[in-house]
Every structure is written in C-alpha cells, then in structure tokens.
Amino acid sequence: MSYAPMEIIIGWLYPKLMSTYGDRGNVITIERRAQWRGYNVTVLPLDQNSTAEDIKSVDIIVGGGAQDRQQEIVMRDLQGAKAQSMRHKIENGTPGVFTCGSPQLLGNYYEPAFGKRIEGLGILDLVSVHPGENTKRCIGNLVIEVTASPLAAELQAMTGIKPYLVGFENHGGRTKLGKVAALGRVVYGLGNNGEDGTEGAFYQNAIATYSHGPLLPKNPFVADWLIQTALRLKYQQEIKLSTLDDTLAMQGREAMFKRLKVDLPN
Ligand code: GLN
C-alpha cells in the first residue's frame, strides 16, 4: 500500500513588497526542512493577486519586514475578506512567523515617521509608533529568551536547551504590547521598544518578532516547531519529525552568544 506524502502549503505575505530585510530565508528554511523529511511543500505568495480563499488554504504563514511605504501599500490591500481570512487563520491556530513590519500590520495601528497613522488588522493587541526621522533606529544583534507559554516549554522539550534565539533587529517603529503575551525577554539588544525589556508577541500559534537574521536558519528548531504544529493541525495527529544535522547552525549560535558575551543557562 502506498500513501500520498503529507503536504504543507506555506503562505508568503507580499514577497515583492515585504522582502527588504532578507526574511525570505524563513520561507526557504521551512520549505527545505519539510522537504528533507519527505513532505510535499508548496510556497504560495499571498499578495495583491490573491483572494481570501488563497489565504484560507495555507498551513503556515510567513511575513517579512518592509519599509514604511511598502507596508502602507500592504495594509491598504489587506482589507475586507482577506483581512477576515487572516484573522480566522491566526485565531484558529495556524502557525506563522511574522517579522518586524508584519507584526506592526497585524497590530492595532502603525504610525510611520511621515504621514498618517495606518490602521492594522487588530489581530495582535499591540501598537507601533515610529518616533520620527531624528530618532535612532534600533539596529543590531538581538538575543532573546522565549518566555511565551506554551511555546517556551515546547521549544525546550524539542531541543533540551533553554529557548534562546539569536537574530538581528533593524526598525524605527517602537511597539507597546496590550493584552497579548510577549514572545520573550530581551537578553541582548532593544526588542519591542528598548524600554520594557519585551520582545515580540505570541498569540495562538503566531510568532511575532523584531528578529530578522533571518530568524529560522539561525534557530532551526523554531522552523521545526512551525512544521510540527502545522502538521498536527492539518492531519489531526501527533507527528514526530525526523532529526536533521543542525551542527553548523548550532555552532553559529554558540559563536554569536560568545561574541555577545551572553551566558546560556543550563
Ligand atoms: N517599517 C518598520 C520600521 O521601521 C519595519 C521595519 C522592518 O520591517 N525591518 O519600524
């Protein structure tokens, strides 16, 4: 008897407008790590040519960073039935990784350096404000400890180590969280706003972060968490992913922690 391989559809938000900061590496990482395990993968761009039905069809959503102007175009396009679909997916546990500009548009609003406030989708209870052109951007390496529940415990169970993530931030906007949980706490860098020590947000199975890097090739176990969560939701069964050789990526993380003088707790 032969079985059709399981399939994952990755929905990639506005690849042309939201790829300024290299976050396509997140898409590639999920794609390859799923293919290496024998799953069929389709990458579906979700953009101006897509419908609400397209959004409904995806198993994982990836959204990258963008500059203010591009972000404004996206926010104007992601309205009505498409916005409803996005909300429905995230509310119902579709896993996703949203970086920098993407969380800003999933939040309540974003105030760019120039121009008027842009209303967000209001899925994540957070607001983002760019304090103006003369304010320093938040740029540099970023290390966070994931604290969000149950993500932190699940990542720790997968790896056997404390869920510290390395990345790189580059944003003007400052984010303040409302009722949504932070993704984690800043260990090195600035995070959401450089003031309250929070980084990113975590809601249902949506990971929102200021961490480019891109995030997933630097911390591949997060990609595995997304794949595993997507398969569980789609096929309604627990799926154990086979192990891949991540020696290089893990050595890269170690080197980064060392360089930034971050002590990893046991
Ligand atoms: N335009 C946003 C900001 O500067 C997002 C930047 C980004 O996605 N890296 O805050």
Res 264: pLDDT? 84
Atom of ligand 1 nearest to the CA of 169: 9
Does any ligand 1 atom lie closer than 6 A to the CB of residue 101?
Answer: yes
Res 1: pLDDT? 54
Does the pTM surpass 0.80? The reply is: yes
Res 176: pLDDT? 98
Res 199: pLDDT? 98
> How is residue 255 written in tokens?
């080197």
Residue 175 CB-half CA count within 13 A: 35
What is the set of active-site residues?
100, 212
Structure ipTM? 0.94
For the sheet with 109-111, list strands across it: 118-119, 109-111, 126-129, 174-177
Res 133: pLDDT? 87
**Cross-strand partners of 145:** 164, 185
Angle at 41 between CA 20 and CA 103, to 5 degrees: 35
In the chain (266 residues long), the average pLDDT of successive 10-residue segments reads: 84 96 96 98 98 98 94 93 98 98 95 91 97 94 98 96 96 97 98 98 98 96 98 95 96 96 85
> How is residue 180 written in tokens?
């949504």
Q: 146 alpha carbon to ligand 1 midpoint, in Å?
A: 21
- Decide if 84 contacts 52 (C-beta within 8 A): yes
**Cross-strand partners of 146:** 184
